[in-house]
Each structure stands twice: as C-alpha cells, then as structure tokens.
Amino acid sequence: MKLGKMIALLGLFAMTAVLLNGFTNGNFAKDGAALLANPWGIVSLIDLYVGFTLFSMWIAFREKNKVLMVAWIVAMMTLGFFAGSLYVLVAFYRSKGDWLDFFLGSRKTDIISK
C-alpha cells in the first residue's frame, strides 16, 4: 500500500506540474483546435475520456454519498488524472491499509456480508 501511495502522490505532483505549465504557457483554444485537427489527437482524446469514464465508474461504485460522487466525477472529467491521483491517494489513506476497503469503499460491508 505504501508503494501505491507513493505512485499516487507522484501522479498528483506530475499532473500539478503539467497542468500549471499548460495553463501558464499554453493557449487552450488554439492548442485544442490543433489537437482536434489531427486524427491521432482525436484518438488520444477518445482514449483519454474512455479511461476517465472507466475510472469514474469505480468512483461511482465506491462512493456512498451521491453529492461527493458527482463532485469527484466532475473533477475527473475536467481535471483528468490530477483528480484521479488525488482520489486514489485519499482512498489509500481512508482505507488504513485495508485493500478491500480501498477497492470497494462504502460497499465493502455489503459485498462481504453476501
């Protein structure tokens, strides 16, 4: 679990750095238009959002609080794996070393009792 926390933290730091760089040095509209003009740019965006959607399904499965679930999914869809890395890091700390709690979240008791 310690390795997972370190990887999530590294992902959070890396995403923070590249997001800051993109927002500081990039032009979202111009760069986005160039990306959408390239067939492989479209492939990359579809690939990315399929990943975001699959990860969001895990968030929806784990979270009991619907408002929190929606907030995390919106963050995932807008901030990408910055939010994903933060979510994983929070899940690791909340699980307190319990892998079932990490993966199943609020559903752990229901699944185990079946």
Is the pLDDT at 9 greater than 90, yes or no?
yes
Is the pLDDT at 7 greater than 90, yes or no?
yes
Distance CA 104, CA 87 (A): 13
Instruction: Give the DSSP letter of residue 38.
Output: S
What is the per-residue pLDDT for 98? Answer: 94
- How do residues 17-70 score in pLDDT, each as one tens digit? 999 999 999 998 999 999 999 999 999 999 999 999 999 999 999 999 999 999
Is the pLDDT at 114 greater than 80, yes or no?
no
What is the per-residue pLDDT for 113? Answer: 87
Contact 43, 35 (CB under 8 A): no
Q: What is the DSSP string of 59-105?
A: HHHH-S-HHHHHHHHHHHHHHTHHHHHHHHHHHHHHHTT-HHHHHHG
